[in-house]
Structure 1
Amino acid sequence: MDATTKILVVGDVRGRFKQLFQRVEQVNKKAGPFEILCCVGDFFGEEKQNDELIAYKNGFKHITVPTYILGPNRKEHQQHFENLTDGEVCPNLTYLGKRGVYTLSSGVKIAYLSGMEAAVGDAAASHEFTKADIGAVRNSCLVSKNCSTEYRGVDVLLTSQWPYGIQEKENTNASKLISFLAREIKPRYHFCGINGSHFECPPFRMPKDETTQFELCTRFISLAEVGNAEKAKYIYALSLKPVDKSRLLDLVQKTTNEIECPFIGLDLSGSISKNETSENRQYFYDMDSSGNRKRQGNQGGKNKRPRIQQIDQEKCWFCLSSPDVEKHLIIAVGERFYLALAKGPINSHHVLIMSTKHIPCSAQLSPEDWEELDKFKNSLRQFFKSLGQAVCFTERHYKSVHLQINVLAFEEGYAWKIKHSFEDKAEEFNLEFETLPQLTSAKMLPEMGPYFLAELPDESTLITRQMKHFPLHFARDVFCSENLLNCDEKVNWKECLLEKDEELAHVESFRKAFQPFDFTDDDDD
């Protein structure tokens, strides 16, 4: 029998860090171990209250359970989330990001949405979410389902703001967008904060729709503020078996105290357009109603990407302006990206796509950046196809400071084996991967925090955010496995270093063969 996963959730912390982490340590010793602590509502408080976090940042005090927080709900708290490296506030304390789905090693899926709903017609501030954010979370949940079964929902939904439809008289600050999201992704548990009170609604069932014929049960829970004078409940413990591994009978079995779903019959027309409801089950990653993919710029301040941490490009090995970049490895240079031979290549066709300026990962690319990256990928696909080969692109945004996309090709007959090889190696390292459709914009990737992804020859994408102790040679482990290239001795790139004259020969050979497909060569004419 599969073991359950223990999770803690708390409401608004508002700077009472010492009280929170002491309480969590007690609960963990008594009823743990807990795999994760999730915080909804306001994590930071007034400026003087936040001083309690200094001891944790300096290492004098330690957080015993890995803690993940949502983003700001007010403008004055935004400063605490700027310039974070991989979302880390301090050891064992991480900002999840504006929105997304976080999958634990056990397979438990936690969907999350930070901030408050932006007013209709106004430009969204950094502490607000929009319809586009709702769509991104919804799609991430739906495309990660097991293709062989009907959709079973997600395990947990974390939002700071309440959904509209629950306690309207007591709660005037509720969001119809969150109601829509909850109805669409069907969480087993939905946790909120902000309102300063503990409230548990009787369980209710989401209606059937085109994703599933099951009526799945949701339990809504609002948590009080840490250290509140009324001693209302602010911490909640869960023991969960992942929904995808649960018995169907347990998911559909009804209880005697259920109420009607509060989201049925709600008029969401002012918030959600028709082509984004359950009646039209089209995944709408940057798509219009006709299904045409669109690249959307930063219009009026909306949908801003996270601020990119400023790094001296002269000190980065991979920035093209750096004196340390090994220019003899360069094959082709575009306006925003360049192609280079990999250092310690697995074979002579092992290359890298890298940004010319300092960008940490693909998730932080602008639409213009993404367009040129697509050009490089498509040129390489065509090039390798002319050689009877299929190509795989991988990116590891973990313990790497500069965007690097590894490119490796295989004989076309091996293309079907690549996904299975990733899955086998993931099982070996106890990693859980989700499958996404073809990547078409940075908005499909996690806004904050590390990740690893592999774009397969069929253009579907495997992605994981389980990056704690992630094996740095994971992609090479897969490529060098017995099922593919069968060269375990090349897993470590340092064991494959070439002499400079060998590197020059590989570069010249690749450049000559790639020339008919090199769009940067056309730009120079």
Structure 2
Amino acid sequence: MDATAKILVVGDVRGRFKQLFSRVEQVNKKAGPFEILCCVGDFFGADKQNEELIAYKNGFKHITVPTYILGPNKEEDKKFFANLVEGEVCTNLTYLGKRGVYTLTSGVKIAYLSGIEAAGSVGGEHEFTKADVQAVRNSCLVSKNCATDYRGVDVLLTSQWPYALLEKENEKASKLISFLCREIKPRYHFCAINGTYFECPPFRIPKDETTQFELCTRFISLADVGNLEKSKYIYALSLKPVDKARLLDLVQKTTNEIPCPFIGLDMGGTFSKNETSESRQYFFDMDSSGNRKRRGDGRNQDKRPRIMQIDQDDCWFCLSSPKVEKHLIIAIGERFYMALAKGPINSHHVLILSTKHMPCTAQLSTEEWEELDKFKAALKKLFKTLGQVVCFTERHYKSPHLTIDVMAFEEGYSWKIKHSFEDKAEEFNLEFETVPVLTSPQMLPEMGPYFVAELPDESTLITRQMKHFPLHFARDVFCSENLLNCDEKVNWKDCLLERDEEVANVEEFRKIFAPFDFTDDD
């Protein structure tokens, strides 16, 4: 399969939806098909200007290329991003979220950061902070596990300009974005909101602790859609993913390169040396003892985009719902409970679920995350006494309630688990990122669906490539020939037990879990 991806990027739309999507349809017919359309800058306009979107929401008009937008850049625009279900504005139009890394089916990696730089350490919904920049940087760098073969990312999307590219733009530019660009080394960096088309000569970012290669970045600012000067507002790219590209193509120099504008940039004390790629300690904030700090302190949790709630009376997993099967419950904490899986693969196949209705772990507060960690730690200790290791998976896709699937394997199978995930991923044409052990909800995608697997070797596999994602993917892996070798148990409906069997399994698990059950503590 050809790994080359065709991508479109546009600048500020500001409510000119009909003009944009008509133009995109023409370009797609002539030079496509394009895999994705990315919008940087202000997508929505004044209230009346946004009426053009109604036809697309009602299905009278169609968006031909899957379109992804960044978040608000002004306080008054945040209302347009409220109450989105998994980021969807309408069919084929999705809000990416505040920050993160999105991997296309082709393998192309797109890093993104919404909004403008906040004045302090706590920003509004239309602002980003140092913590947001660190989160994006970490997501890009951790997959290489501190090795020196990092090749950068394919595309960086921001609305605000980086500082130091043009003197006249510096007043409205961001040093944090300059820092991010220098750290993650994108092949292309797109931005907008200044109403200017500007394509900078390519510049090469020197090698550092993350890479032995001097990688090249091309910066492009796009004008407004439909601007009177007819400046360029749409840009087409054809890219082979950076991880699959020839190394020669990445390092080969061109004649018109300029010095990197971000080298020697004074960050005004924003970042210390051990937070940059000049030191190997760039993945996490560290306290004086060298322990990883949790970034979520609960103060900003309410600023996350909210997911539309489903009636709890209809949810199988809400403790308050009449549909919950209480005979499956093993232990109940303040914020989470543990239950036998319905249609279990074996008698030790259990689930960790939130007591209240919420969609995913990415939306947990610090207190909720800490209790979830307690359940995971207790289960690890239990299975260790049985000579087993444990794998935790979460599918935030077509699953309205937060559910962690827990499966244990003999210790000798530990090394096979990651290989089994990779084999199945290849079979289903999925791309996974490898990141370190999860220490905070901020390490998970803020908006939109994802699948994550926490492995016994303290690495984590994650993908946001969820279109047509196989709902039984985790069970496909667990039941594969390399692990439990029971393909007949892939579908949970084929594994349903009689109520008496379920009750017996719950009682047995309660007994073996009792020495580790922190929920009984007074």
Q: What TM-score bracket applies, with the shorter chain setting the length? A: over 0.9
CA distance in 2, matches of 1:424, 1:521: 41
User: Alpha carbons of 1:242 and 1:147: their partners in 2 closer, same or farther (altered >3 Å)?
Assistant: farther
Listed as ranges, the matches of 1:149-228 within 5 Å are: 150-228=149-227
1:462 aligns with 2:461: yes
> How far 1:56 moved relative to its partner?
1.0
What CA distance in whole angstroms lies between the structure 1 residues aligned with 2:298 and 2:493? 45
Matches within 5 A, 1:232-311: 232-288=231-287, 290-296=289-295, 298=297, 301=300, 304-311=303-310
Decide whether aligned partners of structure 1 residues 170 and 352 sit closer, same or farther in structure 2, where only a CA change above 3 A counts: closer
TM-score (structure 2 length as normaliser): 0.97
* Contact 1:433–1:462 (CA under 8 A) maintained in structure 2: yes
2:400 is matched with 401
Please report how far the alpha carbon of residue 106 of structure 1 lies from its aligned counterpart in structure 2 after TM superposition.
Answer: 1.3
Cα separation, 1, equivalents of 2:205 and 2:302: 29
Which residue identity does 1:33 align to in structure 2? P
Structure 1 residues 262 and 447 mapped into 2: Cα distance closer, same or farther (>3 Å)?
A: same
2:149 paired with 1:143: no
Distance 1:109 1:395, change over 3 A: same
Deviation at 1:317, TM superposition (A): 1.6
Aligned to 2:58: 58
Q: CA deviation at 1:145?
A: 3.0
Task: Tell me which residue corresponds to 2:72.
Answer: 72
Q: 1:244 is paired with a residue of what secondary structure?
A: coil
Matching residue's letter, 1:376? F
Structure 1 residues 290, 340: closer, same or farther in 2, change over 3 A? Answer: same
8 A contact 1:192–1:221 mirrored in 2: yes
2:10–2:38 Cα contact (<8 Å) kept: yes
Mapped to 1, the partners of 2:348 and 2:504 lie a distance apart of 12
Residues 82-103 of structure 1, C-alpha deviations (whole Å, 9 max, x = no match):
1111111111111111001111
Residue number in structure 1 paired with 2:340: 341
Q: CA deviation at 1:499?
A: 1.0
* Conserved 8 A contact 1:176-1:271: no
Query: Structure 1 CA distance, aligned partners of 2:331 and 2:278?
Result: 47
- Residues in 1 aligned to 2:435 and 2:377: alpha-carbon distance in whole angstroms: 19
Deviates more, 1:80-89 or 1:265-274: 265-274
Matched residue, 1:128: 127
Provide the residue aligned with 2:379 in structure 1: 380
Hey, what's the Cα distance between the residues in 2 that align with 1:374 and 1:199?
A: 48
Report the AA paired with residue 96 of structure 1: L
* Amino acid across the alignment from 2:89: V
Check conservation: 1:177, 1:272, Cα contact below 8 A: no
Q: 1:368 maps to what in 2?
A: 367
Amino acid at match of 1:8: L
SS in 2 for 1:187: coil
Counterpart for residue 18 of structure 2 = 18
Equivalents in 2 of 1:23, 1:181: separation in Å? 32
Deviation at 1:296, TM superposition (A): 4.8
1:505 corresponds in structure 2 to 504
Indicate the SS of the match to 1:169: helix
* Counterparts of 1:303 and 1:145, CA distance in 2: 32
Q: Which runs of 5+ in 2 are unaligned?
A: none
Distance 1:262 1:111 in 2: 20
Alpha-carbon separation, structure 1, partners of 2:126 and 2:271: 20
1:146 Cα offset (Å):
7.5
SS of 1:243's equivalent in the other structure is: coil
Alpha-carbon distance in 1 for matches of 2:151, 2:139: 14
On the 8 A contact 1:5/1:108 being kept in 2, the answer is yes
Distance 2:479 2:100 in 1: 32
1:8 equivalenced with 2:8 (yes/no): yes
Deviations 1:92-145 (A, max 9, x none): 111111001111111111000000000136x31111000000000001000123
Alpha-carbon shift at residue 265 of structure 1 (Å): 2.0
In structure 1, C-alpha distance between the alignment counterparts of 2:362 and 2:268, rounded to whole Å = 31
Instruction: State the AA in 1 paired with 2:277.
Output: S
Q: 1:332 to 1:146 in 2, by over 3 A?
A: closer
What SS is found at the alignment partner of 2:509?
helix
Q: Does 1:109 pair with 2:109?
A: yes
- 2:273 partner letter: K
By how many angstroms is 1:281 displaced? 2.4
Describe the shift of the 1:95–1:489 C-alpha distance in structure 2 as closer, same or farther (beyond 3 A).
same
CA 1:300–1:446: 2 relative to 1, 3 Å: closer
Contact kept? 1:125, 1:302, Cα under 8 Å: no
Q: 1:296 to 1:255 in 2, by over 3 A?
A: closer
Are 1:39 and 1:67, in contact at CA under 8 Å, matched by a contact in 2? yes
Q: Secondary structure at the match of 2:319?
A: coil
Query: Alpha-carbon deviation of 1:270?
Result: 3.5
Amino acid at match of 2:251: V
Q: Provide the residue aligned with 1:41 in structure 2.
A: 41
Count of residue pairs brought into register by the alignment: 522
C-alpha deviations, 1:405-432, integer Å up to 9, x for none?
A: 0001111111110100000000001100
Change (3 A) 1:285 1:68: same
Q: 1:270 to 1:148 in 2, by over 3 A?
A: closer
Q: Tell me, what secondary structure is at the counterpart of 2:7?
A: strand
SS at match of 2:243: helix
Q: Is the 8 A contact 2:276 2:282 kept in 1?
A: no
- TM-fit CA distance, 1:298: 4.3
CA distance in 1, matches of 2:105, 2:292: 33
CA separation in 2, counterparts of 1:180 and 1:302?
A: 25
Contact 2:75 2:125 in 1 (8 A): yes
Q: Which residue of 1 is the match for residue 358 of structure 2? A: 359
Counterpart code for 1:104: L
3-state SS of 1:395 partner: strand
1:56 and 1:224 mapped to 2: Cα distance? 24
Answer whether contact 2:382 2:516 (CA < 8 A) is retained.
yes
Aligned residue identity for 1:458: D
1:43-95 Cα offsets, whole Å, 9 max, x none, are 00000111111111111111111111100000111011111111111111111
Tell me the equivalent position of 1:318.
317
Q: CA–CA distance in 2 between the matches of 1:283 and 1:463? A: 20
Conservation of the 8 A alpha-carbon contact between 2:36 and 2:65: yes
How far off its partner does 1:247 sit?
1.0
Q: Secondary structure of 1:111's match?
A: strand
Residues in 2 aligned to 1:277 and 1:166: alpha-carbon distance in whole angstroms: 20
Deviates most, 399-408 or 504-513: 504-513
**What is residue 495 of structure 2 aligned with on the other side?**
496
Segments of 5+ residues of structure 1 without an aligned counterpart are none
Q: Is the 8 A contact 2:84 2:306 kept in 1?
A: no
- Structure 2 partner of 1:431: 430
